[in-house]
Copies of this chain bind each other. A is one copy, B any other.
Amino acid sequence: MGKFEYSLGLNELKSKELRLWQALIGEFLGNLILNFFACGACTQIEDGTFKALAFGLAIFMAITIVGHLSGGHVNPAVTAGMLIAGRISLIRAIFYVVFQCLGAIAGTAAVKILLDPDYHNGLGHTTLAQNITELQGLGIEFFLGLLLVLVVFGACDPHKPDSRYTAPLAIGMAVTLGHLGTIRYTGASMNPARTVGTAFATDIWTAHWVYWVGPVLGGVAAALLYTQVLEAKPAPKVN
């Protein structure tokens, strides 16, 4: 069991043994990295590939740095999925989400301070594209949360040990894929904390509920779908 130490979510039961404050520092730091570097990438005049890689690599890095402390959720939608799957307690989940949001706020605050306002370009805040309704945005963000949390469960499934070594990369690339698929329409948040961070700095809260309800519902649906339908059965011992 010790082998899965760093993997995302699987070690929730174990990580209860860790001091909670270490996990919370981890979640804070992970979201700070995400909003500093990936939303920082959005302030530049570059194309969609540039931004999509930034978000995916930021998650890859965050899990590499803090995955062993907190499970490396770095996203309330992932935390919600883990809560539904019984892999994390409610109290811990609430603390996680608070520190995820604080980390994202800190990350975007640092971008805001370190860049001349001429370069802010919206600070990477997510908004709905013209003619995309809130309901459509909700559907898109639902699919984004669903994708991410399905990949978290698939990559960290203890019955599929071969996935373990590339799990942080796979989860990061799920975030990149989500951005490639939908960035033009909702900004491809996938992550309520990330959007809180930029909403706080820009004071733009339009359609903010979409960025909470969509990914969280998607994450919950993914947790139910994976654990109830898709989960790998233990391989029969061959002797």
- The interface of chain A, by Cβ under 8 A from chain B, is 1-7, 18, 22, 25-26, 29, 33, 36-38, 40-41, 43-54, 57-58, 60-61, 64-69, 110, 113-116, 118-119, 129, 131-132, 136, 139-140, 143, 147, 150-151, 153-155, 157, 159-170, 173-174, 176-178, 180-185, 226, 229-230, 232-233, 235-238
Q: How far is the CA of A150 from the CA of B226 in the complex (A)?
A: 30
Give chain B residues whose Cβ lies under 8 Å from the Cβ of A238: 1-2
Q: How far is the CA of A61 from the CA of B54 in the complex (A)?
A: 18
- Nearest-CB distance from A14 to chain B (Å)? 9
B143 and A36 contact, CB distance less than 8 A? yes
B48 and A48 contact, CB distance less than 8 A? no
Q: How far is the CA of A68 from the CA of B27 in the complex (A)?
A: 30
Which of B150, B160, B178, B184 is A5 in contact with, Cβ under 8 Å? B160
Given A2-B237, A166-B169, A38-B181 contact (CB < 8 Å): yes
Which of B50, B235, B237 is A180 in contact with, Cβ under 8 Å? B50
Give chain B residues whose Cβ lies under 8 Å from the Cβ of A38: 177, 180-181
6 contacts between A and B (CB under 8 A): A37-B182, A65-B230, A69-B230, A114-B140, A116-B132, A119-B185
A39: nearest residue on chain B (CB-CB)? Answer: B181
A129 and B119 contact, CB distance less than 8 A? yes
Given A5-B235, A50-B47, A143-B36, A151-B65 contact (CB < 8 Å): yes
Given A22-B230, A110-B143, A150-B65, A165-B165 contact (CB < 8 Å): yes
Give chain B residues whose Cβ lies under 8 Å from the Cβ of A46: 47-49
